[in-house]
């Protein structure tokens, strides 16, 4: 038996509208659940507090009375943030406190290089009795030092101080050596003297600024004194291409040495070329005295009767001289 039941068009339209309204209601509920709550003005206050400009009322107070507190309003707190230097933060990693820390082991606790080296040259002048037979000449020095603090340094150095002979000394020596009474015209004698030394010299740095510095220095050590006399002569040489040839040279005819302890002391100035450089120019002046033991020898008073072989006893006398040096410390 065939059924003739059919849903009318009105019923179908009603069901479709009901389904559409239900889906819309579900979508609106989902949107409401995921939408954040709106912040009111009291929850987020973006206004900065006004700055107090009068000197009579402080901006911040350490005490607050109950009448000053608004219960409904949020409590605002203020803090003074420390000033941060951006360049220091980049170099040292933020704020630092306490004693500065130096990287590596090549600096002392107060920030100076532990080791220093120096080289210099200048002139050397005899003082007192030495000026009767020695002339001013050149000198040089090299050494290194250990800085214990920015004020205290201990130096180890080598010095070479050269001297010439006065004309009277050369004339007298020509007479002692050859019996030359012609004022050294016959033999053309010449000569030189020098003192080399190894010394240990404590140094106190009085002042050390970004440019100029000053120090005092004193010490002592071993001193070796030498005097040498020469005369010109014609020497012969040989070259495989040209054969034998002659040339003029100074031949050593007499030499004297004397060893002794000695002391020195003086002061110096330094100048730093740049605050970022380690090199310093220095100028230094000292007085040096050696304690040589005098060995008797020939003198103008006994020249006609002396029979020994010490023809220059002045080399074994105590010696005082004045070296001035210029150079670099680095």
Give the pLDDT score at 222.
Answer: 98
> For the residues 192-206, what does the mean pLDDT come to?
97
Give the pLDDT score at 87.
Answer: 44
> For the residues 166-172, what does the mean pLDDT come to?
91
| Residue partners of 7: CB distance under 8 A and separation at least 6 | none
The rounded Cα 310 to chain-centroid distance in angstroms is 48
Residue 109 placed within a domain: no
Strands (E), the chain: 115-126, 134-135, 137-147, 152-165, 190-208, 212-239, 243-272, 280-290, 319-329
- What phi-psi label fits residue 104: left (phi over 0), alpha (psi between -120 and 50 degrees) or beta? left
Tokens in use for 325? 């040096």
Question: Do 124 and 137 meet the contact criterion of CB atoms below 8 Å apart?
Answer: yes
Containing structural domain, residue 176: 115-329
pLDDT in tens, 206-256: 988 778 999 999 999 999 999 999 998 877 888 888 888 777 778 899 999
Give the pLDDT score at 23.
Answer: 60
Give the pLDDT score at 35.
Answer: 47
Residue 140 placed within a domain: yes
Tell me which of 110 and 273 has the higher pLDDT.
Answer: 273
Residue 11 placed within a domain: no
Interatomic CA distance for residues 127 and 49, integer angstroms: 81
CATH of the domain at 311: 2.40.160.20
Residue 270 binned pLDDT confidence (cut-offs 50, 70, 90): very high
Question: Do 123 and 137 meet the contact criterion of CB atoms below 8 Å apart?
Answer: yes
> For the residues 18-22, what does the mean pLDDT come to?
60
Residue 225 placed within a domain: yes
Give the pLDDT score at 60.
Answer: 46
Give the pLDDT score at 92.
Answer: 44
Q: Would you say residue 56 has pLDDT above 70?
A: no
Of 61-65, 66-70, 165-169, 273-277, which one has max mean pLDDT? 165-169
> For the residues 119-132, what does the mean pLDDT come to?
95
Give the pLDDT score at 52.
Answer: 53
Interatomic CA distance for residues 218 and 328, integer angstroms: 19
Identify the three-state secondary structure at position 229: strand
> For the residues 168-182, what does the mean pLDDT come to?
85
Residue 20 binned pLDDT confidence (cut-offs 50, 70, 90): low
> For the residues 288-306, what does the mean pLDDT come to?
94
Tokens in use for 139? 């000198």
Residue 98 placed within a domain: no
Question: Do 223 and 210 meet the contact criterion of CB atoms below 8 Å apart?
Answer: no
Identify the weakest region by mean pLDDT among 6-15, 89-98, 214-223. 89-98
Question: Do 96 and 302 meet the contact criterion of CB atoms below 8 Å apart?
Answer: no
Interatomic CA distance for residues 311 and 213, integer angstroms: 47
Residue 172 placed within a domain: yes
Q: Would you say residue 89 has pLDDT above 50?
A: no
Please give the tally of structural domains in the chain: 1
Give the closest residue to 48 by CA, choosing from 76, 82, 71, 75: 76
What are the distances in angstroms from CA 179 to CA 220, 288, 298?
Answer: 40, 35, 13
Residue 277 binned pLDDT confidence (cut-offs 50, 70, 90): confident
| Residue partners of 293: CB distance under 8 A and separation at least 6 | 258, 260, 316
Residue 44 placed within a domain: no
Q: Would you say residue 154 has pLDDT above 50?
A: yes
Give the pLDDT score at 317.
Answer: 95
| Residue partners of 62: CB distance under 8 A and separation at least 6 | none
Average per-residue pLDDT for the chain: 78
Phi, psi of 313 (to 5 degrees): -70, -15
Residue 47 placed within a domain: no
Give the pLDDT score at 70.
Answer: 52
The pairing of beta strand 243-272 with beta strand 137-147: unpaired
- The model's pTM is 0.66
Q: What is the DSSP secondary structure assignment for residue 113, as one 8-state letter?
A: B
Give the pLDDT score at 202.
Answer: 97
């Amino acid at each position: 038996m065939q059924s003739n039941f059919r849903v009318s068009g009105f019923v179908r339209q009603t069901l479709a509208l009901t389904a559409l309204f239900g889906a819309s209601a579900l979508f609106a509920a989902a949107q409401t659940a995921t939408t954040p709550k709106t912040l009111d003005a009291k929850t987020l206050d973006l206004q900065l507090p006004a700055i107090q400009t009068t000197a009579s009322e402080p901006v911040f107070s350490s005490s607050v009375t109950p009448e000053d507190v608004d219960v409904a309003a949020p409590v605002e707190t203020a803090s003074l943030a420390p000033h941060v230097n951006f360049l220091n933060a980049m170099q040292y990693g933020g704020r630092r406190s306490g004693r500065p820390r130096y990287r590596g082991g090549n600096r002392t606790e107060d920030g100076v290089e532990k080791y220093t080296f120096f080289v210099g040259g200048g002139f050397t002048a005899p003082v007192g009795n030495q000026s009767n037979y020695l002339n001013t000449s050149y000198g040089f020095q090299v050494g290194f030092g250990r800085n214990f603090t920015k004020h205290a340094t201990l130096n180890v150095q080598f010095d070479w101080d050269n001297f010439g002979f006065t004309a009277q000394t050369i004339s007298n020596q020509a007479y002692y050596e050859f019996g030359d009474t012609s004022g050294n015209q016959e033999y053309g004698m010449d000569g030189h003297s020098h003192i080399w030394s190894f010394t240990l010299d404590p140094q106190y740095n009085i002042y050390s600024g970004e440019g100029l510095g000053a120090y005092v220095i004193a010490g002592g050590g071993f001193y070796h004194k030498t005097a040498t006399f020469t005369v010109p002569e014609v020497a012969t040489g040989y070259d495989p291409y040209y054969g034998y040839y002659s040339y003029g040279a100074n031949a050593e005819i007499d030499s004297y040495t004397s060893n002794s302890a000695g002391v020195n002391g003086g002061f110096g100035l330094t100048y730093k070329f740049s605050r970022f450089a380690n090199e310093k120019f220095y100028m230094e002046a000292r007085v040096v005295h050696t304690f040589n033991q005098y060995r008797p020898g020939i003198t103008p008073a006994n020249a006609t009767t002396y029979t020994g072989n010490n023809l220059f006893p002045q080399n074994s006398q105590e010696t005082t001289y004045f070296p001035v040096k210029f150079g670099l410390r680095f």
